[in-house]
Amino acid sequence: MQLVASNEQEFVLKKFSEHYSRSAQSVRKISEREFGFGGWDKKIESRHASFMNNDELKSYLVRNTPLYISYSVAFYEFPEARPMEKKNWKGAELVFDLDADHLQLACIAKHGKGWVCDECINAVKSETMKLIEEFLVPDFGLKKEEMSINFSGNRGFHVHVSSDEVSGLDGYARREVVDYIMGTGLDEAGVFYKEGTRMRGPKLGEGGWRGKIARTFAEKLEEQKLNELGIHTRTINRFYEKKKEVAEGLANGNWDVIHLPKPEEFWREISAKLKVNLGDQIDQMVTPDATKLIRVPDSLHGETGLAARKTSNLEKFDALKDAAVFDLNGKTNGVRVKVMKAPAFRLGEQTFGPYENYTLTLPEAAAIYLICKKAAVLA
The contact set with Zn ion (CB under 5 A) reads 107, 117, 119-120
* Nearer Cβ to Zn ion (108/276): 108
Residue nearest to Zn ion (CB): 107
Q: How far is the CB of 303 from Zn ion (least distance, A)?
A: 15
Nearer to Zn ion, 119 or 264 (CB): 119
CB of 265 to Zn ion, least distance (A): 28
Residue 162 or 277: the one with the smaller Cβ distance to Zn ion is: 277
The upper half-sphere exposure of residue 88, i.e. CA atoms within 13 Å in the direction of its Cβ, equals 3
Q: Report the nearest approach of Zn ion to the CB of residue 108 (Å).
A: 6
What CA–CA distance (Å, rounded) separates 68 from 72? 14
Instruction: Report in angstroms the alpha-carbon separations of 131 from 176, 197, 236.
Output: 15, 35, 24
Nearest CB to Zn ion, comparing residues 72 and 154: 154
| Burial label, 20 (beta-carbon count in 10 A; 0-12, 13-18, 19+) | buried
How many angstroms separate the CA atoms of 66 and 60, rounded?
Answer: 9
Q: Which CB, 32 or 127, lies closer to Zn ion?
A: 127
Distances (CA, A) of 248 to 22, 143, 236, 243, 253: 59, 31, 17, 9, 9
Q: How far apart are CA 180 and CA 204, in angstroms?
A: 18
Least distance in angstroms from the C-beta of 105 to Zn ion = 6
- Using the minimum distance from each CB to Zn ion, give the nearer residue, 118 or 241: 118
CA 300, CA 309: separation in Å to the nearest integer? 9
Contact 234, 260 (CB under 8 A): no
Q: How far is the CB of 107 from Zn ion (least distance, A)?
A: 3
Residues 6+ apart with CB under 8 A from 332: none
CB of 311 to Zn ion, least distance (A): 20
Close Cβ partners of 374 (under 8 Å, ≥ 6 residues apart): 2, 4
Output 119 or 146, the one with its CB closest to Zn ion.
119
Which residues make beta-bridge pairs with 200? Answer: 193, 254
In 3D, which of 103, 79, 100 has the Cα closest to residue 158? 100
Is 113 or 234 the residue whose CB approaches Zn ion more closely?
Answer: 113
Q: 74-76 and 46-49 as β-strands: parallel, antiparallel, unpaired? A: unpaired
Least spacing, CB of residue 340 vs Zn ion, in Å: 20
Q: Which one, 120 or 178, has the nearer CB to Zn ion?
A: 120
CA–CA separation, 32 and 75 (whole Å):
5
Closest Cα to residue 201, out of 189, 219, 184?
Answer: 189
